Amino acid sequence: MNKRIVVVGSCNTDMVIRVDHLPLPGETIIGHDFITNQGGKGANQAVAAKRLGSETAFIARLGNDDFGKNSLRLLTEEGIDTQFVSLTEGISTGVALIPVDDKGENSIIVSSGANALLSTDDIVAAEPLFREAAILLMQLETPIATLISAARMAKHYGAKVVLNPAPYPKEPLPAELLEMVDVITPNETEAARMSGVKVTDEGSALEAIRAIQRQGVADVIITAGAAGAYTATDGQLVCIPTNKVDVVDTTAAGDTFCGALCVALCKGEDFTEAIRFANKAASLSVTRIGAWRSIPYEKEILSTLNHNS
């Protein structure tokens, strides 16, 4: 059975400043510490998948600048297969500006740079990766046409397609893409955008899940921060709670969840167990600042699971 996870998506350099509160429109505020660290939803998910125990390949575009070269080196040092991560002339690597407040909440502005140039040609070139893929994992910081090509390639080779619909675009996601998606992982806001149902409690979560399933996706997981995650089995809502932790920074918690979920699914875990594992990984990530900096390793999850069992 194939075990490889192929991640298609973005890679950014994150510039993070701790603040007392997120700035209002027109407001200038004085923040605290500044850190640069590796990020981008695609790269975060690839790093999570690799650190948590899966053979992982990443397909992405970076600028041929210092940020891009550094990102490529660090991705490779993580042990991720980067043969289809390319450096592109004449455009900058993606950058994200992230203030993080004292409750661990953030707001994120992304300048896509080279991420916006990831193309169907890049997917076609990376075809060998798909031959041994168990799961294709994607998000929405790269062009949707490229994601459709990747999903088609994954389906051709019998891989499962997992989509994290973040950031949710202005236009609804095309049916052509959703029909190829096996598992989708919106947060409550994205679930509301997709379904038209405001997710406030268990009843509305089930209503939203059913509305998204009617768009062609069999398995829907709504991630709900401290409340854990919701899914539906045989039409019934299943709530999978998460640990209570001291939140430092929620950046990349959703990405860690997605990477971890795919690792557990690759190992053949039952769906609910896979969500439990993903909750555990995400809950550890929010206890630390930054994106890659916060993503846990397999041994950390196993040791906490043992402590709690």
State the catalytic residues. Answer: 255
DSSP 74-103: HHHHTT-EEEEEEEETTSPPEEEEEEE-TT
Helix, coil or strand: residue 108 = coil
Please give the Cα distance from 81 to 108 (Å, whole number). 27
Backbone angles phi, psi at 166, to 5 degrees: -135, 135
Binding of ligand RIB at residue 44 (CB under 6 A)? yes
In the complex, the smallest distance separating the C-beta of residue 291 from ligand RIB, rounded to whole angstroms, is 4
- Residue from 140, 208, 229, 291 in contact with ligand RIB (CB under 6 A): 291
In the complex, the smallest distance separating the C-beta of residue 172 from ligand RIB, rounded to whole angstroms, is 21
The tokens of 59 are what? 């397909």
Residue 271 identity (one-letter amino acid):
F
The nearer residue to ligand RIB, 12 or 195, going by C-beta atoms, is: 12
Please give the Cα distance from 190 to 185 (Å, whole number). 9
Residues 110-149 that bind ligand RIB (CB under 6 A): 110, 141
In the complex, the smallest distance separating the C-beta of residue 109 from ligand RIB, rounded to whole angstroms, is 9
> Which range binds ligand RIB by CB under 6 A, 9-17, 69-77, 173-181, 212-220?
9-17
- Residue from 65, 122, 190, 255 in contact with ligand RIB (CB under 6 A): 255
Cross-sheet strand order for the sheet of 34-39: 34-39, 12-18, 94-100, 109-111
Binding of ligand RIB at residue 39 (CB under 6 A)? yes
Alpha helices per DSSP H over 60-201: 66-77, 120-125, 127-131, 144-156, 175-178, 188-195
The nearer residue to ligand RIB, 53 or 254, going by C-beta atoms, is: 254
Residues 61-100 that bind ligand RIB (CB under 6 A): 96
Binding of ligand RIB at residue 187 (CB under 6 A)? no
Binding of ligand RIB at residue 249 (CB under 6 A)? no
Q: Which residues bind ligand RIB (CB under 6 A)?
A: 10, 12, 14, 39-41, 44, 96, 108, 110, 141, 251-252, 254-255, 291
